[in-house]
Chain A
Amino acid sequence: MKYAYFPGCSLKGLGKAYEESLLPVMERLGVELVELDDWNCCGATAYMSVDESKACILASRNLALAEKTGSRDLVTPCSACYLVLNKTKHYLKDSPEIRESVQRALDTAGLQYSGAMPVRHPLDILVNDVGLDVIREKVVRPLTGLKVAPYYGCQVVRPYATFDDAWNPTTMDRLLATLGAEVVPYPLKTKCCGGSLTGTLPDTGLRLTYILLKEAVRRGADVIATICPLCQFNLDAYHDQIARQWGPVPIPTVYFTQLMGLAFGLPESQLGLNRNFVRMKPLPAIPAKA
């Protein structure tokens, strides 16, 4: 299985641990991710809210580059990238004006984009293309006893619920259960983490982050599993401020791919777990082969 891969800026910076765990896990499953040559920033939500047309141009350059590789699908792990690229696809389909300005821009760069290439999330690839049975076979250290709160964030399911339900997604729940983890019922799984408000309007943003952390603790979770670099950052980086305001809610937040890596028996040091502010407790050693 081979896919075009758009990491996005986060996975090269703040969300480095995501890529560090994603790539070896995919490799272990025989999935080849071929990083796009000369990709650029997707524009994230900021650019979209300033100028939709230019934001679409920025994003569609990546789509055009991906199409040039001849791959079937483009995979992108960051929820913001995933949303912006999918949104661009929708806008190109629905708005003749945007389609025209994008085409003009791509023409000058000698690129073209047909609009056909699907933009997919690794979670979708893992559960629907690779399959839970194949994943189960690779588990050498089941996460037995580890209580995980599955947290999807909002962007991966709204407004485009392409591979799961918009309000109650279950793909990651099933994946975590396959790894042997105990999935804690977590109805807040698609509630907003605060997004960039943690920086711009901290009173509002941090309150949202706090609710997610507090409820995960209240429901007995040992760790929160996330699929989005911004969610991971918000849930991990503000524990000091949150503790000052509401009291401590000590719980680590890791990428689901890091948990997969642990279950596959990959060395902890190579999964980026040391980058967390709130560290996850080490798991028991891998049981000796019978």
Chain B
Amino acid sequence: MKTNLSNGEIRIGFYICHCGHNIAGVVDCTAVAHEIAGLPGVVVSRDYKYMCSDPGQELIRNDIREHALNRIVVASCSPLLHENTFRNAVEAGGLNRYFFQMVNIREHDSWVHTNRAEATTKAVALARAAVLRVRFHRALETTRVAIHPDVLVVGGGIAGIHAALTLANAGKKVYLVEREPSIGGHMAKFDKTFPTLDCAACILTPKMSAVRANKNIKLWTYSEVAKVEGYVGNYTVSVRRKPRYVNEELCVGCQECIEACVFKEGKYPDEFNVGLSKRKPIYIPFPQAVPQVVVIDRERCLQLKSGRCKKTCIEACADRHAIDFAQKEETLEIKVGNIIVATGFRLFDAKRIPQYGYGLYPNVVTSIELERLVTSSGPTGGEITMRDGRIPQSVAFILCVGSRDFRTNRWCSRTCCMHSMKLAQLVREHTGADVTVFYLDIRAPGKGCEEFYDKSLKDGIQFVRGRVAEVTDWALTPEEEGKLVIRAEDTLAGVVRRIPVDMIVLAVGMEPQADSQAVRRLFNMSCGSEGWFLEKHPKLAPVSTFTDGVFIAGCCQGPKDIPDSIAQAGAAAAEAMALIDRGYIEQEPNTAYVVEEDCSGCKSCLPLCPYTAITLDGETHKARINAALCKGCGTCVAACPSGSIRQHLFEDDEIFSEIEGVLTHA
């Protein structure tokens, strides 16, 4: 084989990792090491239990010194996980970090095959390709790009609020973008929080006010991210601000306009009270809303719909002139270095399980509806009533509605056991009603949660284990007349039971937001099959994504409770700060470059570059690539008619020798 090596004699060290049983369970690592030892230029060939461990890395460093190695190949897991680990070891051994090639024989081989002989043959082929390739590696240098210090936080629920405050308190400038007219998210709707039963509003609203008061936070509610461009450290983001027809700077939140609206009573379902009360076309989402600015519903307002309204709201606002029917949607462009996505979840639609009668029987309610009924700021002032105003004598909770169910969602929503027990205790406390909870398993693993379960039992709440078959309103006995009847198998007693109650609460589970796929694409993130945003590593990088500089926090990553959401939000803020405070990112040198003497200046490459990194030099009339902008996608390399554009780490001799290595049979 022809070689054009300028680095003198090639001395390769090859290492194959057992990864415990992950690789060695399927691939015969010793055989692979033996096979590779016979290739030209291979001086050392070893297998080792855990290459990523300290002793494993030490092995590489020692061999470089002892055997004067100048190329290293490690066959182990995905480069996403440990390429940097090994490059660092190579560098610590005194070599340029790019005299290294990694082979993925775990995700690409041992994890996806079961036949030991075939998997071993594949490992040898992949390793041989890397060994042939690495001979052509050149010494390369990373470049540094400055990181923009501002951060975008998307979503103003408790996770987004906490992340924004953490960053702002550390002196970072934060843009907090929220789709709804107020921040607060789901938590703002809760009465008390489990397992401590402390008031949700008392702990949330101070944080909401702190967001508003913090000079470092630019809060944009009623706004959505429309476009994201760039890369870690240098994102350009377009934010669409929907018109609320009220000038945020001028509105003082006096709400006289709401009083003055031509609609004397609320007429439209109030989103904050999940439809249990009515609001006017001009409204403030809830008393503690942040910002304290009213909003006009474009679909309902007479003036906006027909242009024929007495505009009593404008009269009421008088010389404050905050109401502005001419307001238009505007799009603002911002530059940030990091993005934290905290877009939350939506609740399962109980109508999807028609057997439970939600929407059919008025006294079948969801857990969030009961939450609003319990809250003193809710539509009934904290009184738990049925639709006809009576106080229920008996209440049943059905758990796992839209969770742990192969017909709807397979996952456990994690919070509903505790949330239902909290509501059950509040129902006992407020009404003295008999409470029965139908459950599959009670999952109360958090701190203080098992104790809370104990308290529920002591409070006299009945627990029946079994998935409810149906909710009906037909009676077999006089006691059942006029009641809702739950039919369920009691799997502990081994009987089918009929239990008549006044009110049924469906503990609806959590689902990814309806537009989670669009949001995922917007920020270039991945999703699991269920639609939750995927973390970079389930244990070691729980708030990072596969896109550098984009972090996730809260329930958009999966169902979780308030403490876990806050912990993630803090972690995401810390990850962002780690990048900001370092001030720069190292850029991979896998960029394209122009061999000037071969470039004809044909300009074919210019329009192809997705990052506008290529320009034509006015004087030399040759293409020029800005390495800081180049992402190494390779489009121009493939397209150049004269072959004058090449790419570091993807040189022709590197790729061809790699192909040869895969295709050569031993």
Residues of A within 8 A of B (CB): 165-168, 185, 187-188, 211, 214-215, 218
Number of interface residues of B (CB under 8 A): 9
Contacts of A187 in B (CB 8 A): 357, 360-361, 472-474
Instruction: For the complex formed, measure the closest distance between the CB of B557 and the CB atoms of chain A, giving whole angstroms.
Output: 33
Within 8 A of A (CB), among B444-487: 472-474, 476
Of residues 310 through 358 on chain B, the ones whose CB sits less than 8 Å from some CB of chain A are 354-355, 357
The chain A residue with its CB closest to the CB of B481 is A218
Cα A218 to Cα B478 with chains together (Å): 13
- A165 contacts B354, C-beta separation under 8 Å: yes
Decide: A215 near B474, CB < 8 A? Known: A168-B360, A187-B360: yes
- Can you name 20 A-B residue pairings with CB atoms under 8 Å? A165-B354, A166-B354, A167-B354, A167-B355, A168-B354, A168-B360, A185-B360, A187-B357, A187-B360, A187-B361, A187-B472, A187-B473, A187-B474, A188-B472, A188-B474, A211-B474, A211-B476, A214-B474, A215-B474, A218-B474
**In the complex, what's the smallest C-beta–C-beta distance from B352 to chain A, in angstroms?**
10
Q: Which residues of A contact B474 (CB under 8 A)?
A: 187-188, 211, 214-215, 218
Q: Given the complex of chains A and B, what is the CA–CA distance between A187 and B474 in angstroms?
A: 9
CB closest chain-A residue, reference B473 = A187
Assembly CA distance A57 to B414 (angstroms): 49
A-B interface, 7 closest residue pairs, ranked by CB to CB distance from nearest: A167-B354, A215-B474, A168-B354, A187-B360, A211-B474, A167-B355, A188-B474
Q: How far is the CA of A185 from the CA of B359 in the complex (A)?
A: 13
- Taking CB atoms, residues of chain B closer than 8 Å to A185 are 360
Chain B: residues with CB nearer than 8 A to chain A?
354-355, 357, 360-361, 472-474, 476
How many A-B pairs with Cβ below 8 Å? 20
- The residue in chain B whose Cβ has the minimal distance to the Cβ of A185 is B360
Q: Taking the nearest CB of chain A, how far is it from the CB of B111, in angstroms?
A: 32
Please give 9 more A-B residue pairs, beta carbons under 8 A apart, in addition to A165-B354, A185-B360, A187-B361: A166-B354, A167-B354, A167-B355, A168-B360, A187-B357, A187-B474, A188-B474, A211-B474, A211-B476
Chain B residues closer than 8 Å to A211, beta-carbon distance? 474, 476
> Nearest A residue to B357 by beta-carbon distance?
A187
Q: Please, which residue of chain A has its CB at the minimum distance from the CB of B359?
A: A168
* Docked complex Cα distance between A211 and B477 (Å): 11
CA–CA, A167 to B355, complex, Å?
Answer: 7
Closest Cβ neighbor of A210 among chain B residues: B476
CB distance from A43 to the nearest CB of B (A): 29
**What residues of chain A lie closer than 8 Å to B472, measured between beta carbons?**
187-188
| Complex alpha-carbon distance, A167 and B470, angstroms | 11
Q: Of all chain A residues, which has the CB nearest B351?
A: A168
CA distance A168 to B355 in the complex (A): 9
**How far apart are the CA atoms of A172 and B476 in the complex, in Å?**
27
CA distance A188 to B471 in the complex (A): 11
A193, B355: Cα distance in complex, Å: 17
Note all chain A residues with C-beta closer than 8 A to B354. 165-168
Q: How far is the CA of A167 from the CA of B354 in the complex (A)?
A: 6
Cα of A188 to Cα of B474 in the assembled complex, Å: 8
Task: Give min CB distance, A150 to chain B, whole Å.
Answer: 14
Instruction: Using CB atoms, name the residue of chain A closest to B354.
Output: A167
Taken together as a complex, chains A and B put the C-alpha atoms of A214 and B355 apart, in Å, by 20
CB distance from B269 to the nearest CB of A (A): 22
- Residue of B with least CB distance to A187: B360
Closest residue on chain B to residue A165 by CB atoms: B354
Measured CB to CB, the closest approach of chain B to A160, in angstroms, equals 16
Tell me, rounded to whole Å, the shortest Cβ–Cβ distance linking A192 to chain B.
12
Quick one: which of B360, B361, B474 has the most chain A CB within 10 A? B474
Q: A213–B361 Cα gap in the complex (Å)?
A: 20
Contacts of B360 in A (CB 8 A): 168, 185, 187
- Bound CA–CA A215/B476 (angstroms): 10
A238 CB, nearest partner CB in chain B, Å = 18
Q: How far is the CA of A184 from the CA of B476 in the complex (A)?
A: 20
- What is the minimal beta-carbon distance from B504 to any residue of chain A, in angstroms? 14
Give A215 Cβ to nearest chain B Cβ, in Å.
5
Chain A's closest residue to B471 (CB) is A187
Q: Which residues of A contact B357 (CB under 8 A)?
A: 187
Q: Give the complex CA separation of A168 and B356 in angstroms.
A: 12
- Output the least CB separation between B471 and chain A (Å): 9
Contacts of B361 in A (CB 8 A): 187
Report the separation of the CA atoms of residues A21 and B476 in the bound assembly, to the nearest whole angstrom: 35
- From B353, which residue of chain A is reached at the shortest CB distance? A167
* A residues near B473, Cβ cutoff 8 Å: 187
A187 to B361, CA, bound (A): 9
Q: Which residues in B have their C-beta under 8 angstroms from that of A165?
A: 354
- In the assembled complex, the Cα of A165 lies from the Cα of B360 at a distance in Å of 14
